[in-house]
Amino acid sequence: MCAVLADRILLRRVMRRLPICLGVIVGLKSIASGFQAIFPPLSYRKDFFQDYLLARALISGENPYAPLPELMQKFTPEAPLAYFPHPSPHAPAGVLLTAPLGLISYDQAALIWFVFELCLLLAAASFVRRRFSLLSPGCCGLMLFTIFLAGAMPVSRSYISGQFSIAILFLSCLLYRSWLAGDSRGIGIWTGLALALKMFGWPIVFFLLIRRNWRALSTVFIVLVCSHILSWLLIGKDGLKSYYGEAVPAVIQSYRADGANLSLFGFGQRFFGGLRPPVRVDIAVPPLIDLPEAAPYAGAGIAAIVLFWVMLTCLKANRPETGPALLIALSAVFSPVVWLHGLSVMLIPLSVAFMFLQGLSFPSRHTAACAVLVFLFYCGDLFSKLLPGDGEPVSFALSLITLLPTVLVLVLMKYLAQLDAACGRKAASVQG
């Protein structure tokens, strides 16, 4: 009898550690892939390549928001010409951040940016592990947790392509800390920086308006104004005009019908306008109802409904952690164009869900649901690999696979609301 009991305990320990071990293996493989991607010819396929071109243009006194092929011919003629035909959609604040890298070669800049992203991921992992008591303490536990996070597909997609999403994750960690501390200035600073860098955080601004948190809102405004003044001084009026007047509209027009666009605003395009191969070669999907003029209004309506529900849920939340977790989750998909790496910030809502489960003593049904959500977020858009590419036509029903990451965000928000309600009921029963 004792031997059977010991075997069961051992089996439970193995089953608990097995997902972490597999995640660490995947993380090591992903980091190795990211390291390989900083060398030619793979390095020229990174999103960071356009940031380097912007930095070179800024240092040379050129317009950073000229079409990318023009910048390539001027500054990196050795690179393959097959690249995005439009100007870069990366914000002027991102240009200011990466400007010093334009003083060195592209290979050196790609390496420095790769290491910088991994350092930010380590800092975010340290914050989350200490805040939510994840894994064992100590440097070894922190490194294992960081490698585990590096294997998540949204996170790995960010540092392999050289995007800003890990920086947004780090800012979201600071925002979450300031929110719980009641630091309105801190909330405004981190929200303003996220908006300046990646247009991330508009739902947070709307909620601050509802709560009339004028100190936080004024700080957001000051940060945005200062970033644009600095951009105007360094990039110039023509550069800013090109960004807002040409780059942003061109990118929205090019990718609103892209199957990899995870934006809530893209739902209307999927249902009424269909998907078609734009700049990228992707799947072609007919609309469910052929009414393209209704697509933008339907997408805006769906986004507004979700925003209204989140605002209402945040106002009625029982736990202080629920509000920032929901707002960060919604901010990830509340933009006209959203790629998978933008879901890196889901680490914070998932960690809040885990903390709620701890307080509820891990009820079986909710714990199983959390495990499924973590697994699906970790896999990212892996199931989209089942679809054909190269512009081949795909049925509307089959194309819904590409919506899985966005649907997961919505499910996670609803799940957090349920856990918040369960925590409220438990607190009421204890007081009673």
pLDDT at 191 over 80: yes
Instruction: Please give the pLDDT value at position 87.
Output: 82
The 10 Å CB-count burial string (b at 16+, else e) for 129-168 is: bebbebeeeeeeebebbbbbbbbbbbbbbbbbbbbbbbbb
- Provide φ and ψ at 29, rounded to 5°: -65, -40
Report the pLDDT averaged over residues 269-293.
78
212 — pLDDT class (breaks 50, 70, 90): very high
Q: How far apart are CA 311 and CA 136, in angstroms?
A: 35
- Which tens digits make up the pLDDT trace of 19-61? 778 878 888 999 999 999 888 888 888 889 989 999 999 898 8
275: three-class secondary structure by DSSP: strand
| Cα 80 to chain centroid, rounded | 28
**Phi then psi dihedrals of residue 154, to 5 deg:** -60, -40
Residues 234-245 have pLDDT tens digits of 888 888 888 888
Residue type, 251: V
Q: Which residue carries 């950073």 as its tokens?
A: 64
User: Taking all residues of the chain, what is their mean pLDDT, rounded to a whole number?
Assistant: 86
Q: Global pTM?
A: 0.92
Q: Is 183 helix (H, G, I), strand (E, B) or coil?
A: coil
Structure confidence at residue 7 (pLDDT) = 46
285: helix, strand or coil: strand
- pLDDT over 70, % of the chain: 90
**What confidence category does residue 12 fall into, taking pLDDT thresholds of 50, 70 and 90?**
low
224 pLDDT above the threshold of 60: yes
Among the residue ranges 61-75, 226-240, 272-286, the one predicted with the least confidence is 272-286
Give the model confidence (pLDDT) of 86-109 as tens digits: 788 888 888 888 999 989 999 999
Give yes or no for residue 281 having a pLDDT over 80.
no
% of residues, the chain, pLDDT over 90: 46
Q: Which tens digits make up the pLDDT trace of 307-339?
A: 999 999 999 999 999 999 999 999 999 998 899
Q: pLDDT tier at 11 (50, 70, 90 boundaries)?
A: very low
Residue-level pLDDT at 236: 82
Rounded Cα gap, residues 368 and 262, in angstroms? 25
CB contact at 8 A, 151 and 127: no
Q: How far is CA 92 from each of CA 200, 276, 332, 409, 412, rounded to the nearest angstrom?
A: 14, 29, 20, 28, 32
CB 211 within 8 A of CB 320: no
Neighbours of 101 (CB within 10 A): 22
Residue 228: closest CA among 252, 250, 202, 195: 195
DSSP string for residues in 139-189: HHHHHHHHHHHHTSHHHHHHHHHT-SHHHHHHHHHHHHHHHHHT-HHHHHH
Q: 324: Cβ–Cβ under 8 A, 6 or more apart, which residues?
A: 175, 176, 179, 180, 348
Q: 148-162, 285-299, 387-401: which range is least confident on average?
A: 387-401
Q: How far apart are CA 153 and CA 158, in angstroms?
A: 8
pLDDT of 6 strictly over 70: no
Flag the least confident range among 15-19, 153-157, 375-379, 396-400. 15-19
Return the half-sphere exposure (C-beta side, CA atoms, 13 A cut-off) of residue 278. Answer: 17
User: Which one, of 197, 245, 277, 247, lies nearest residue 67 by Cα?
Assistant: 247
User: How much is the pLDDT for 16?
Assistant: 60
Task: Find out whether 322 and 431 touch, Cβ atoms under 8 Å.
Answer: no
Alpha helices in 182-213 (DSSP H): 184-198, 202-210
**178 contacts 190 by C-beta, under 8 angstroms:** yes
Neighbours of 197 (CB within 10 A): 21
Could you give the count of Cα atoms lying within 13 Å of 48 in the half-sphere of its Cβ?
Answer: 33
Q: What is the mean pLDDT of residues 254-264?
A: 84
What is the DSSP-derived secondary structure letter of residue 320?
T
Tally of CA atoms within 13 A in the half-sphere of 2 that contains its CB: 0
Residue 80 has pLDDT above 80, yes or no: no
Domain-by-domain residue ranges, the chain?
A: 257-432
Q: What is the pLDDT of residues 408-427, one digit of tens each?
A: 999 999 999 999 999 988 88
Of 51-60, 255-264, 328-337, 342-351, the least confident: 255-264
Give, in order, the Cα–Cα distances in Å from 414 to each of 175, 349, 356, 410.
22, 11, 14, 6
Residue 234 CA to chain centroid, in angstroms? 28
